[in-house]
Amino acid sequence: MAAETKKSGFSSKLGLIMATAGSAVGLGNIWKFPYIAGENGGGAFLIIYLACVILFGLPLMMTELFIGKQSGKSAFGAFRELRNNSRWQWLSWLCMITSFLIMGFYFVVTGWCFHYLVAAVGHVFKDLTTAQLTLHFDDFIANRPEVLGYSILAVIFTAAVLWFDVNKGIERLSKILMPLLLIMMFLMAGRVLMLDGSNTGMEFFFHADFSKLDTRTILSALGQCFFSLSIGMGALITYGAYMPKTQNIAATSLQVAVLDTLVAVLAGLIIFPAVFAFGFNPAEGPELVFVVLPAIFEKMSFAWFSSILFFSLLCVAAVTSTISLMEVAVAFISEATAKNKHPLDRRKSVLVVMAVVVVSMAACIYFPVVFKGFDTVSSCVLMPLNAFAMALFVGWFLPKADIRQGIVHSPIVAKELGKTEKWRHNLANVYIQIVRYIVPLAIIAIFLNGLGIW
């Protein structure tokens, strides 16, 4: 239903790519990637992460977009539509639960970004030492009502976009802001690399010391890859449903994955050299970027202007991601209740979702174990599990001819194909083998390994 009312959602192929990229590029790249890489030893993590993007990220993005494009439905109705029965409905439920868990902590961190934007406007970081910057963060976090206030602000912004259905506006906005974010990050990386002592950071980020790897690192890298590419929660199913039928899923996924990875690596290139140059600890944890970034701006020309610009871009990047998170839950509720006596329309669903999110945010803010728990359970358990199920669903339960047609427009009949068609046909076959065997088996192996069983 959402798919029908929102068929007009994206005006062009580029619009869809930008929206998908907007969902992917967010706090996962700029906040989470550096701190997880820092906690897992830097270089070795980077290599495993890149391997995960190629082996799992790309095929699974294609899988979700395909499910959406083929069914024209959101995560609620897609599995049902494609199989003509409701045996896979549990997977829709898992997607919705995952979306609530992620929203619980993601909105809190988006709230942190809003606070830092306000602080940047007030230029409160001027002349603060490393220790004082850490103290600023700790003081802010300790003021829980204030954190809750900023997080609620983030929820309201996101809900407003879904409420007024202004996807077109977002699309136009991200076409401008995304390139601006990239330019800004290149400039920051350039400045940081000129700092004394930045070499140690480069060494940390690019030198792979596999001796420090433990079994959890691989699971962390896998979870981070899913999180960063917005995989394993059905968000991309919804976006796939808006896809023009002529759009090539493989090409779209490749473009988004490359852009997303570029932003994550750039974030690492900014954070790690600065961490070592200023004497921070790379394994600082979730506050890492928030204490390091303000220190960087003070070294840049136009410090005040640069910090405001960057934190504004970060807030926008975060909100284009929260939109895709919230959309899954909103579409689920409005579609699930559509046949009820008292159906919840889109707007009522937005209100219900807001209420639940505010409660889970408060839990994350007042109980740090809840924050950590939501994060770990969603990234390391639910998203891999959902992705595993989706790979099996497409690989084993959908007709191969539809898959070839859907992902690369390869003609159904393989005989007498032209050269480029042959190439596309083979690519689709490789994809099918990957989602049938490699992805499911590898996810099982990583799970058992992470649990210490194997």
Binding-site ranges for ligand TRP (CB under 6 A): 23-24, 26-29, 102, 227-228, 230, 233, 235, 321, 324-325
> Which of 23, 40 has the CB closer to ligand TRP?
23
> Which of 101, 432 has the CB closer to ligand TRP?
101
> Which of 233, 361 has the CB closer to ligand TRP?
233
| DSSP state, residue 452 | T
Q: In the chain, what are the helix, strand and coil shares in percent, each to the nearest 5?
A: 80, 0, 20
Least Å distance, CB 301 to ligand TRP, is 29
> Which of 198, 324 has the CB closer to ligand TRP?
324
Task: Count how many residues are written for the chain.
Answer: 454
> Which of 134, 151 has the CB closer to ligand TRP?
151
- Residue pair 1/293 in contact (Cβ under 8 Å)? The answer is no
Least Å distance, CB 321 to ligand TRP, is 4
Q: Where are the beta strands (DSSP E) in 193-302?
A: none
Least Å distance, CB 227 to ligand TRP, is 5
> Which of 29, 151 has the CB closer to ligand TRP?
29
- Residue pair 300/188 in contact (Cβ under 8 Å)? The answer is yes
Closest residue to bound ligand TRP by CB = 28
> How far, CA to CA in Å, does 289 sit from each of 143, 255, 282, 299, 314?
19, 26, 10, 16, 12
- Quickly tell me which residue has 């204490």 as its tokens: 291
Distance CA 110, CA 137 (A): 14
- Residue pair 105/379 in contact (Cβ under 8 Å)? The answer is no
Least Å distance, CB 144 to ligand TRP, is 23
Distance CA 311, CA 150 (A): 14
Least Å distance, CB 166 to ligand TRP, is 18
Distance CA 190, CA 167 (A): 34
> Which of 390, 428 has the CB closer to ligand TRP?
390
Least Å distance, CB 329 to ligand TRP, is 11
Least Å distance, CB 111 to ligand TRP, is 14
Angle at 352 between CA 65 and CA 378, to 5 degrees: 50
Alpha helices in 122-166 (DSSP H): 130-142, 144-164
